């Protein structure tokens, strides 16, 4: 498995879990939501470090994140 596929799998897994948490309501486990969002922020930084610009753009498209969402997840890490 290459870097692109690994990052795509990580993003897909955590985005799916985050979506499930949203469906159930935020009050269930707010710390779980925070951890998932921080994971996604770290994945954003890793993707920017290890992928080419073209691959990064393709990854964002495949996982369904626009630039605003991408930056929002990165901001979760910047606040620490």
What value does the CA radius of gyration of the chain take, rounded to a whole number of Å? Answer: 13
Residue 7: band (very low, low, confident or very high) from pLDDT cuts 50, 70, 90: very high
Whether 10 has a pLDDT exceeding 70, the answer reads yes
Whether 72 has a pLDDT exceeding 70, the answer reads yes
Dihedral-angle region of residue 52 (phi above 0 means left; psi in -120 to 50 means alpha; beta otherwise): beta
Between 29 and 49, residue with greater pLDDT: 49
Which pTM was predicted?
Answer: 0.88
């Amino acid at each position: 498995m290459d870097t692109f596929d690994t990052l795509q799998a990580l993003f897909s897994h955590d985005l799916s879990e985050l979506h499930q948490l949203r469906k159930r309501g935020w009050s269930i486990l707010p710390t779980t939501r925070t951890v998932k969002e921080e994971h996604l922020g770290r994945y954003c930084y890793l993707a920017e470090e290890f992928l080419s610009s073209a691959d990064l753009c393709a990854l964002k498209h495949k996982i369904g994140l626009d630039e605003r969402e991408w930056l929002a997840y990165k901001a979760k890490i910047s606040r620490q």
